[in-house]
Every structure is written in structure tokens, then in C-alpha cells.
Amino acid sequence: MITGQVKKWIGEFVGTFALVFAGTGAIVINEISGGAVTHVGVAITFGLIVLAMIYTVGDVSGAHLNPAVSLGFYAARRFSGRELLPYIASQCAGAFAASGMLRLLFPQNELLGATVPAGSATQSFFLELILTTVLMLVILSVSIGAAEKGITAGIVVGAVIALEAMFAGPISGASMNPARSLAPAVVSGHLSSLWLYVVAPLIGGLVGVFGCRLIRENGCCSSAKVLSQQK
């Protein structure tokens, strides 16, 4: 018998696997095919797979699919602290499984879709911080709690991810997700810039919570929402 808690972890594993497999897979196939997918196609792929996973596992786990989002929900008191580490572990496991599969399918590809700065590390750091801040602010604004399947939430969040990847991807990679960057970097062995794709999104997620508190009339935090998720 699989408990509700385990189902949440499985949901995060499956959702993050799909995100990394489709998103970074689009990057890999774009390189191999000589640009057949195109940069716009890659950005849309990331947005669409997130949209699909929100509607697939959103009512089970909340479809965070991103350690920065889970941390942001925790900071906003919409998410239990005891679930934070299991969620992040499940997300990272799903990401590593996806990158491992891509390594098996495309053994000659060098980066496996890893995020690498096109300019300076400082430039990409602040880009990733700002992109994740906006993403977290949007997620907090269109969601009710930390685990629900909103009618429009998937469309809005997927659209924001596609938009940010479309304009910022050529410079920073538009990761906004430590798990999405960690797995291909480790599996491909390109770790030199990994720190900024872990640190900047985590900070950005927290800044997004602060921004939500500033601009929304009733704030974005409620301990009651956390309690409702634990029932």
C-alpha cells in the first residue's frame, strides 16, 4: 500500500523527470539535428512540459518540480518543513534519472543540456535570480496552496517559463531550477558554473516570496494553508 506521502514524492520524481527529459532533451536533439528544434522550440518545450506536469501531478504533489519553488512555498508558510527535504530529494532523483537516460540515448553529446553562461558569471547569476523571482511571484499569485490543480495555474506558469526561456536562454540558459541544472552538469561532468545555477534560483525563490508579501493586499502567507495540506 503506497501512502499519500510517498505518492507525493513519486509525483515530484515523475514530474521532474519529465521536465528534465523533455526540456534538456530538446536542447540535445536541437544540437544533434543542426537546429531543427530551434531556440524558440526549446523554450516552448520547457513551458509545455511544465504545463502538462502541473495538470498531471499537481493535485497529488503540487507539481513543484523545482527545489527553489519548494523552498519558496516553505518560506511562504504554504508548505510543511518536514516535507521540504523529501521533495527536493525526489526532484533531484527525477532529474538525475532523466539525465542518465539522455546519456544512454545520446552518449556523444557533451553537455546533455547543461546550463552554461554565455557571458560573465555575474551576468548569468543576476539573470537567474531575477527570472526565478518573477517565476516564484507568479506561482504564488496564481496558486491557492502548495498542492492543487488550478484551472489556469498550469497555463500561466508554463507560459512564464517559456517566455523567460525564450528571451534569457541564450545568455544564462534560463534554468530557474537547481535540479534541472544539477543533473546534466554532474552527469556530463561540467561543474564549473554549477554553483550559480543552484544559489541564484534559491535566492530568487525567497525574493519572490518577499515580493508577494509587498504587493498583494492580504500577503501570500498563511500557516492555515500548510495545515490544510497535512490533513
Rounded Cα gap, residues 59 and 129, in angstroms = 28
Domain annotation for the chain: domains and CATH numbers: 4-229 (1.20.1080.10)
Contact 90, 7 (CB under 8 A): no
Q: Which amino acid is at 227?
A: L
Q: How many C-beta atoms lie closer than 10 Å to residue 153's C-beta? A: 21
pLDDT in tens, the chain (231 residues): 788 899 999 999 999 999 999 999 999 999 999 999 999 999 999 999 999 999 999 999 999 999 999 999 999 999 999 999 999 999 999 999 999 999 999 999 999 999 999 999 999 999 999 999 999 999 998 886 555 555 688 999 999 999 999 999 999 999 999 999 999 999 999 999 999 999 999 999 999 999 999 987 666 665 444 433 433
Let me know: does 204 contact 196? Beta carbons within 8 Å.
no
Length of the chain: 231
What is the tens place of the pLDDT at every residue in 126-157? 999 999 999 999 999 888 655 555 568 899 99
Nearest to 94 by CA among 174, 200, 177, 31: 177
